[in-house]
Amino acid sequence: MLHVALWEPEIPPNTGNVSRLCAATGSRLHLIGKLGFSIDDKQLKRAGLDYWPHVDLHRHATFAEFERAAGYTRLWVVDNPAPCNYTSVSYRDGDCLLFGKESTGLPPELRERFAERIVSIPMFSPHVRSLNLSTAVGIAVYEALRQVHGW
């Protein structure tokens, strides 16, 4: 099983889309820190449709709490910029993919702490600084699953 962790997500439909992806792939979803919405938000629920009962959702108030309770084996940070492409690492069952908040990404202290574990999704336009969160999660999760399951 893969783990998907969102650091302080801000936009309900993005988190709803990610929850639906996690339900579809059997991935565990971790929401870490202060959320920019309520878990009961109607946009969040609508984006997740009727799949919420099938989402393995875990809520963590702090990053330290997430690390203690999450149960992943290795952590990969998906963020820009990064020296390593998301397809150039070897993912394993039990890995966790961590994504930062939509507006600012991850805080500098987490980027520094996991500097050797940051991977990025390439973008070919200098005019775009980041992909939509749920799009990035989908790209990275399916690459990790492709490797883990040998598709």
- Kindly list the structural domains of the chain, giving each domain's residue range(s) and its CATH number in brackets, ordered by start: 3-149 (3.40.1280.10)
Residue type, 10: E
What's residue 47's pLDDT? 59
Residue 104, amino acid: T
Q: Would you give the distance in Å from CA 86 to the centre of its chain?
A: 13
pLDDT of residue 150: 86
The pLDDT of residue 11 is 94
What is the pLDDT, as a whole number, of residue 151?
A: 79
Question: If you compute the radius of gyration of the chain from its CA atoms, what whole number of angstroms results?
Answer: 14
Neighbours of 110 (CB within 10 A): 19
pLDDT for the residue numbered 82: 87
Which stretches of the chain are DSSP H helices? 12-25, 42-48, 63-69, 108-113, 133-149
How far is 96 from 118, CA to CA, in rounded Å?
12
pLDDT of residue 44: 64
Query: Any known ligand binding at 26?
Result: no
Is 100 among the annotated ligand-binding positions? Answer: yes
pLDDT tens digits, the chain, 151 residues: what are they? 999 999 999 999 899 999 999 999 999 999 999 998 887 757 666 655 678 889 999 999 999 999 999 899 999 999 988 889 999 999 999 999 999 999 999 999 999 999 999 999 999 999 988 899 999 999 999 999 999 998 7
Is there a binding annotation on residue 78?
A: yes
